[in-house]
């Protein structure tokens, strides 16, 4: 009934989407891990990255592969600006962690409204697409665009680079230390302020880069962000808050479950299956698959 | 307590003010255009939802991002009971409210086992699961999406029903806040482990208030279902409703009694005015206003009210301790 080529198609599709989920979630996780605030506007930066890739391709004929570092840089700057202008102020004025989380929810929601509607005004609600390397490749009988495979490959590569950065470099290790235990990190002499700014830049840049990958695979719209934000939030909870490995594996897992569920259970319930998976996992492991710290 | 005017004067003047506001609101439909009535219906609905959300999330500190599920459950239950089972609308609406409470009871027990962001996402997942399941069921077994209720146009009825609900939920919010139960909830918010240590049944309290906070959104869902006469999953289980509840309560002052109502009214009116004046930019302006107010008034708009009415004592505007200072 389910043949190899259909299965391959579905699994590959799941992996491609999973790579994107994973990267987006890793970025969001970085932001949450460092500052304990949930950036509900994360998807909007993904959208900006996607549109940046589109415009570099359309106006300057720079292919999405080459524009990746530029997009990274631009969104890194965005992250730093957001940190300096909004986040550091919020941290200063909040007396309790509850207050900080409440304020950050509101502020980032405001950011969503502003960014989404500026994008709408500037680029119109018409769907746009990046047609690059849309050459079909045949694997196990299934026909897949090269652009999708490229997106998958890039996602895995970037995730690997981020992982190596966090594990092998001093800055990366310092960031991991802050995520693990902020107070202990301060006692060790780690400059929380500067590194928080850096981590914000990195997290948002990852979001933007995910957007570049999305542009290779899906059409763009100013409203595309929210869906990815919700998926990313689902993934980091599934994988465990603060765990980058969890975010990565969780992203792949969620997408695979969704894709397989769509052919084995029902196409309409694709997303619902993902949410049920989340609820079940949280019942069994209230901190997510790899989470540590307070539930 | 402190020196100055006696407590009783403030109590009485507050109650009189509340009665005056309600009276004005009650008289509104008689004088104004259908447009204002319709706008006010939206504001009243948001108010009820924000205040209900606050009763749970504001007092316990568990931010719920899926509360719209109770609104949707109430709406759908009412629709089913009116169309399939022929129940009169008022009874169906009450059944809707009860259905929302049952949903809260059933889902609350597993959901409340997690906290913080985990809890926020799990409630969101609950909303999405129900929404997508109903949508899928409708498209596969029924062929049509959404339910249609008997066509009636009754904005005045709806307005008064919502006004009555709003007054009720405000009274509930005040009674909970200034009760022993309310203190237990605030204790849970401030330090759940410590609360458990001193013998508060945290699971019981959380579940109780979760169920309580689902009733009014359920009723409201039922009323709005009848008002709209057509409902579909994407509309009544819309996450935007969830977010709006949270935003209005946070904006006005989470954890306070009047905060969420002030937030809902302010945001509702401002968004309408901006939409009329700046059709293309209104959302951007709203976003900017929101960010500015949050950065400069972190405790929400309620902060202004508390500061104006402070009786010259020490700054007790922190809502973490004791019965609310008026």
| Contacts with A, B 106-135, CB within 8 Å | 110, 113-118, 120-122, 124-126, 128-129, 132-133, 135
pLDDT digit string (tens) for A268-292? 788 888 898 888 888 888 888 887 6
Record: contact A233-B118, CB cut-off 8 A? no
| Contacts with B, A 123-182, CB within 8 Å | none
Reported ipTM: the value is 0.85
pLDDT tops 90 at residue B22: no
Local confidence band at A81 (pLDDT 50, 70, 90 cut-offs): very high
Looking at beta carbons, which residues of chain A come within 8 Å of B132?
Answer: 268-269, 271-272, 275
pLDDT tops 80 at residue A7: yes
Mean pLDDT check: name the lowest of A96-100, A237-241, B130-134, B201-205.
Answer: A96-100
Local confidence band at A293 (pLDDT 50, 70, 90 cut-offs): low
- For residue A45, give Cα distances in angstroms to A85, A115, A136: 16, 9, 30
Looking at beta carbons, which residues of chain A come within 8 Å of B133?
Answer: 269, 272
Record: contact A106-B250, CB cut-off 8 A? yes
Mean pLDDT check: name the lowest of A150-154, A220-224, B302-306.
Answer: B302-306
A192, A178 contact by CB (below 8 A) = yes
What pLDDT score was predicted for residue B271? 87
Q: Give which of B94, B93, B54 is closest to B249, Cα–Cα.
A: B54
Say which residue, B186 or A132, is predicted with more confidence: B186
Those residues whose C-beta lies under 8 Å from the C-beta of residue A268, and which sit 6 or more positions away, are B132, B135, B136, B139, B140
Q: Which residue of B has its CA nearest to A98?
A: B61
Local confidence band at B326 (pLDDT 50, 70, 90 cut-offs): very low
Instruction: Give this prediction's pTM.
Output: 0.87
DSSP-derived letter for residue A269 is G
Q: Which candidate in A96, A275, A281, A283 is best for mutational testing of the B interface (most B CBs within 10 A)?
A: A275
Burial class of A165 by CB neighbour count within 10 A (0 to 12, 13 to 18, 19+):
middle
Those residues whose C-beta lies under 8 Å from the C-beta of residue B184, and which sit 6 or more positions away, are B195, B200, B205
| H or E stretch at B231 | strand B230-231
Task: Find the mean pLDDT for residues B234-242.
Answer: 91
Record: contact A117-B283, CB cut-off 8 A? yes
């Amino acid at each position: 009934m389910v043949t190899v080529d259909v299965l391959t198609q579905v699994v590959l599709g799941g992996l491609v989407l999973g790579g994107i989920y994973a990267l987006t979630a890793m970025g969001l996780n970085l932001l949450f891990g460092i500052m304990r605030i949930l950036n509900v506007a994360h998807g909007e930066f993904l959208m900006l990255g996607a549109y940046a890739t589109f415009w570099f391709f359309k106006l300057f004929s720079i292919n999405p592969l080459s524009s990746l570092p530029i997009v990274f840089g631009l969104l890194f700057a965005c992250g730093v600006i957001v940190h300096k202008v909004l986040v550091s102020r919020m941290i200063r004025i909040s007396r309790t962690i509850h207050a900080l989380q409440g304020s950050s929810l509101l502020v980032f929601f405001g950011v969503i409204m502003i960014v989404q509607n500026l994008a709408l005004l500037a680029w119109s609600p018409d769907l746009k697409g990046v047609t690059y390397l849309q050459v079909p490749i045949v694997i196990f009988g299934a026909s897949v665009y090269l652009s999708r495979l490229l997106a998958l490959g890039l996602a895995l590569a970037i995730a690997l680079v981020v992982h190596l950065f966090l594990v092998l470099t001093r800055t990366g290790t310092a960031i991991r230390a802050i995520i693990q235990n902020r107070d202990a990190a301060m006692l060790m002499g780690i400059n929380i302020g500067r590194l928080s700014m850096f981590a914000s830049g990195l997290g948002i840049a990852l979001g933007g880069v995910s957007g570049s990958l999305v542009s290779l695979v899906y059409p763009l719209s100013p409203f595309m962000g929210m869906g990815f934000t919700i998926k990313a939030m689902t993934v980091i909870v599934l994988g465990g808050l603060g765990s980058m490995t969890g975010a990565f594996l969780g992203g792949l897992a969620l997408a695979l479950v969704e894709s397989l569920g769509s052919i084995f259970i029902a196409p309409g319930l694709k997303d619902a299956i993902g949410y049920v998976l989340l609820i079940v996992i949280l019942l069994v492991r209230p901190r997510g698959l790899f989470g540590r710290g307070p539930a | 307590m402190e020196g100055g005017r006696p407590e009783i004067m403030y109590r009485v003047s507050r109650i009189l003010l509340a009665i005056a506001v309600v009276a004005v609101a009650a008289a509104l439909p008689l004088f104004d255009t259908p447009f204002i009535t319709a706008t006010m219906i939206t504001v009243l609905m948001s108010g009820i939802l924000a205040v209900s959300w606050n009763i749970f999330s504001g007092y316990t500190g568990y931010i719920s991002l899926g509360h719209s599920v109770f609104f949707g459950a109430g709406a759908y239950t009412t629709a089913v009971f009116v169309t399939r089972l022929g129940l009169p609308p008022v009874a169906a609406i009450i059944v809707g409210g009860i259905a929302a409470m049952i949903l809260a009871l059933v889902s609350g027990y597993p959901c409340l086992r997690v906290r913080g962001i985990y809890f926020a996402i799990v409630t969101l997942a609950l909303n999405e699961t129900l929404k997508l399941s109903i949508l899928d069921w409708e498209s596969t077994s029924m062929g049509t999406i959404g339910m249609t209720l008997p066509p009636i146009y009754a904005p005045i009825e709806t307005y008064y029903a919502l006004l009555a609900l709003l007054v009720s939920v405000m009274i509930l919010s005040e009674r909970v806040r200034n009760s022993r139960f309310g203190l237990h909830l605030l204790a849970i918010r401030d330090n759940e482990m410590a609360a458990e240590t001193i013998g508060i049944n945290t699971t019981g309290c959380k579940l109780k208030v979760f169920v309580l906070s689902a009733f009014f959104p359920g009723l409201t869902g039922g009323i709005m279902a009848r008002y709209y006469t057509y409902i579909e999953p994407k509309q009544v289980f819309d996450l935007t409703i969830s977010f709006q509840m949270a935003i209005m309560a946070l904006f006005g002052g989470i954890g306070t009694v009047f905060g969420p109502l002030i937030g809902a009214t302010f945001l509702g009116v401002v968004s309408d005015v901006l939409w009329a004046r700046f059709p293309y930019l209104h959302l951007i302006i709203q976003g900017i206003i929101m960010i500015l107010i949050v950065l400069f008034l972190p405790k929400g708009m309620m902060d202004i009210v508390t500061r104006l009415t402070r009786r010259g004592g020490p700054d007790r505007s922190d809502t973490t301790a004791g019965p609310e200072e008026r």
